[in-house]
Amino acid sequence: MDEVQVEAPGGFVPQIALTFGARDGAAVAVDRANPLPTRAVTAAAGSVPLAGASAESGVFGPFAPDLSRAIVVTLAGEWSGTVTLLRSSDNGATRRPLTFIDGSAKGVWSGNVNAAIGEESVAGATYYLQFARTAGTLSYRVEQ
pTM of the predicted structure, to 2 decimals: 0.74
Question: What residues does each domain of the chain span?
Answer: 50-143
Give Cβ neighbours of residue 88 (< 8 Å, ≥ 6 apart).
Answer: 62, 94, 95, 96, 125, 126, 127, 128
Mean pLDDT of the chain: 89
**Stretch 93-108: mean pLDDT, rounded?**
95
Q: Which CATH architecture has domain 50-143?
A: Sandwich (2.60)
Pairing of strands 70-76, 138-143: antiparallel
**Stretch 123-128: mean pLDDT, rounded?**
97
**pLDDT range class, residue 22, cuts 50, 70, 90:** low
Instruction: With a cut of 60, say whether residue 13 has pLDDT above it.
Output: no
Asked if residues 92 and 46 have their Cβ atoms less than 8 Å apart, the reply is no
Instruction: With a cut of 70, say whether residue 104 has pLDDT above it.
Output: yes
